[in-house]
Chains A and B, each alone.
Chain A
C-alpha cells in the first residue's frame, strides 16, 4: 500500500495527471481507503511540491502542473470520498479590493492555496466591502484574503475590515492581505491578522491562521 501511495505522490510531483488518475483508481481497486489515498498520496505529494517551491527548487509552472495532477486525482476520488474525509485545509474568501481590476497576483495566490488543499471562493476583482461581507455570511470561510496593486485602492482593505466589524463578522474570520504596495506595518495598522509578501508565503500564513 505504501508503495502505491508513494507512486501517486511522486507522479503528482512530476505533474503526470493521467498517471495520477490511473494510480488513484488502481489504489481504490486494491482496496486502499479513499482518505488514505488523499492524505498519503495526493496531499503528501503536494506538500513536497510546496516545500520545494518555498526552498526555491521548483518554478511556478511546475507547481501549477502538479496542482493539475492533484485535481485529476481528486476527480477520481471525489465520488467515493466520505464527506468527513474530504475536508479541506480551510476555506478562504478571496478577492481584489474595490477600485482595483488587477487579477493576476490574486489568481496566483488562489492557485497556490488550492494546491495546498485549501478551498477558495474567488470574488474576482473590484470587490466592494459589502460583497466581502455577503460572501462571508454565505460561505462561512475561516479566512478572508484581500489583494491590491495600487496605493489608492489599498485603503479599501481598511474599509473592508471595518465592514466586517460592523457586520459583526470580524471575529469569525482571519484576514490576510497582500499586494505590491502592502506592508506588514500596513496590515497591522488596518487591523488585519496577517500579511503575506508573496503567494508561497500566503500558503504558510493561511496554514498558521487555519
Chain B
C-alpha cells in the first residue's frame, strides 16, 4: 500500500487586523513621526537622527519615512536568546511564544505570611529561583524594586540576584549608563568574553520612552549602549489608553508604533543589525481609580494588533500576559491571566512579560507565577489542535468496542492516554472526600505550597567563579 500523506494539524491563531488596517496604522505612525515629531532629550540621539535625515521644526524632531524603513530593513528578524549556560533556550522568532515575569514591583506577597510588604533584594533571587523551577516560564525579570539596598544601585543588585537565582535568559532594567556598563561587565564574565556574549546573549535590556513622544536622556543612552555593544534590547513605549495614549486603541497603536520605531531607528543607526525586540504596552488607564489596568482587555486586544504590525516589519515581538489587577490571588487573577496567556498564544507574540504581577503591577506573587505556569500548560494543550491521523481516529478501537462498554480498558487507551489527555498539576480534580481529607486547599494555597517546594528542592547551578569575582569587585567599587 502506498504510504499515505499525513494530514497536517492546524494550530489555532487569530488575525486581528486586515491588510488595510495594518497599512492605515503604519501610515498614521509615519505621519506622527514626520509631521508631529518627537521631543528628544538625548543630545547623542538627536545628532544621530539629524545626521540620518531627520530635521527640526516647531521644537520637535521630525523623522522621514526613509530613515524608518532603512532601520526596519537592517534589523534582524530573530533574536537567539540563550540561557546563562550558553544554551539556545529562547529563540525569539516567528511563531514562537515564551513567557516570563515583569520587573520592578515595589511590593511582594510574602510566601510565608501572605502579607503584602515592601520588596527586598532576596525576593529578586527567590522569584528568579521559582521561575527557574517552573517549566513554562522561559525567562526572568526582577519582579522587585528592592528597598533594602542603596536606591541608586538597586538595578545592579537586582541583576546579580536574578542571575544567581536562575540560569534562564533575563530581561533587565537599569538606571543609566553606569548600570549598563557594570551589568555588561558582569554578563561578559558569565558568558566568558564579549564575543561569547554577542554570540550567545542571555540578557536583554528593557527600557522605554515616555508616552506621548518624549525621549528622556537616560533611556535613550541605555538603548544606545546596547547598540554600541550589539546586545539585545527592547524599547516598548506605554501609550495606555486615556493616559499616555489616546483613549481609542487605534490612536494608541499608531502612537506606540511610531514611538517604538524611533527606538529601532536609533539602534540601527549606531549598529545595523542590533537585535531589537519590537512592541508596546496598551493597558487602559482605569477611569475610576486612574490605575494602569493590567487585566484590561484593551491590552491583549492591542497586543494581537501590534504583534501583526511587528510581524509585518519582520521583527520579533514583545508581549504581555499573566498579570492581574486583583490584590490577591483569586478568581479575578485567574480570569485576567488566562485571557492574556491565551491571546499571547493565539497571536504568537514572542516574549511575553509580566507573568505573576498582581495589583496592577505594584505587587509580585510567587503563587501567581505558579498558577500562570499551569494556565500556560493548559492553553498550550489547546494550541496543539486536533491531530487527525490513523492513531487518533482510533478506527480499530471503535470497530472492536463492545457497544455501551466503553474504552477505558482498551489497548488504544492504554497505549495513548499519556499524550492524548492533558493532566493537571495544581488544578484540582480530586473527588470531594479526597479534597476534604487533603485539607480543603484552594488553588492559591496549592500554588503557595508548590512555590515553597521549588525554593526548597530545586537547585540552580552557581555562577562561574570568575563572574562572582567580577561582581564582588564591582560592588566594592560602588561602595567606595
CA of A104 to CA of B214, assembled, Å: 12
Cα-based distance from A151 to B118 in the complex (angstroms): 13
State which of A11-19, A29-37, A56-64, A68-76 sits at the interface with chain B: A56-64
With contacts A104-B243, A181-B145 known, is A59 near B287, CB below 8 A? yes
Q: Are A180 and B243 in contact (CB under 8 A)?
A: no
B362 & A180 in contact (Cβ 8 Å cutoff): yes
Is B89 positioned at the interface, with any CB of A under 8 Å from its CB? Answer: no
| Contact, CB under 8 Å: B288 / A60 | yes
Q: Is the CB of A152 within 8 A of B289?
A: no
Q: Most chain-A CB neighbours within 10 Å: which of B151, B152, B214? A: B151
Q: How far is the CA of A59 from the CA of B214 in the complex (A)?
A: 27
A198 touches B289 (CB 8 A): yes
A154 on interface, CB distance cutoff 8 Å: yes
Q: Is A170 an interface residue when CB atoms closer than 8 A count as contact?
A: no
Mark out the residues of chain A between 30 and 70 whose CB falls within 8 Å of any chain B CB in the assembled complex.
56, 58-61
- Distance A103 CA – B287 CA, assembled complex (angstroms): 17
A108 touches B145 (CB 8 A): no
A60 and B287 form a contact (CB under 8 A): yes
Interface status of B106 (Cβ within 8 A of chain A): yes
Q: How many A residues, CB 8 Å from partner?
A: 20
Q: Please give, as numbers and ranges, the residues of chain A lying within 8 Å of B462 by CB-CB distance.
A: none
A199 at the interface (CB under 8 A from B): yes
Alpha-carbon distance A47/B104, docked complex (angstroms): 37
Determine whether A1 belongs to the interface, using a CB cutoff of 8 Å to chain B: no
B64-100 vs A, Cβ < 8 Å mask (1 yes, 0 no): 0000000000000000000000000000000000000
Nearest opposing residue in chain A for B106, CB measure: A181
Interface pair A154/B118, CB less than 8 Å apart: no
CA distance A154 to B145 in the complex (A): 13
B290 within 8 A of A: yes
User: B34 within 8 Å of A by Cβ?
Assistant: no
Q: How far is the CA of A103 from the CA of B213 in the complex (A)?
A: 12
**Alpha-carbon gap, A183 to B41, bound state (A):** 30
Chain A residues, Cβ within 8 Å of B287: 59-61
Measured CA separation A60–B293 after assembly (Å):
14
| Chain B residues within an 8 Å CB radius of A154 | 151
Docked complex: A176-190 residues within 8 A CB-CB of B: 180-181, 183
Within 8 A of B (CB), among A80-113: 101-105, 108
Interface residues of B in 35-87 (CB under 8 A from A): 41
* B244 (CB) vs chain A CBs: closest residue: A104
Q: How far is the CB of A179 from chain B (nearest CB, A)?
A: 11
Q: Which residues of B contact A102 (CB under 8 A)?
A: 210
A84 to chain B, nearest CB (A): 35
Please judge, given known A-B contacts A101-B214, A101-B216, A104-B243, whether A152 and B290 are in contact too, CB under 8 Å: no
Q: Which residues of A contact B145 (CB under 8 A)?
A: 151, 181
- Chain A residues, Cβ within 8 Å of B377: none
| Distance, CA A93 to CA B341, complexed state (A) | 44
A sample of 19 more A-B contacts (CB under 8 A), given A101-B41, A180-B106, A199-B290, is: A58-B288, A59-B287, A60-B287, A60-B288, A60-B290, A101-B210, A101-B214, A101-B216, A102-B210, A104-B243, A108-B290, A151-B104, A151-B145, A151-B154, A152-B154, A152-B175, A181-B145, A183-B118, A198-B290
Closest 3 CB pairs of A and B: A59-B287, A60-B287, A181-B106
**What are 25 residue pairs bridging A and B, where the CB atoms are less than 8 Å apart in the complex?**
A56-B288, A58-B288, A59-B288, A60-B287, A101-B41, A101-B216, A102-B210, A103-B210, A104-B244, A105-B290, A108-B290, A151-B106, A151-B147, A151-B154, A152-B152, A152-B175, A154-B151, A155-B151, A155-B152, A180-B106, A180-B362, A181-B145, A183-B106, A183-B118, A198-B290
Q: Which of A's residues lie within 8 Å of B, judged by CB?
A: 56, 58-61, 101-105, 108, 151-152, 154-155, 180-181, 183, 198-199
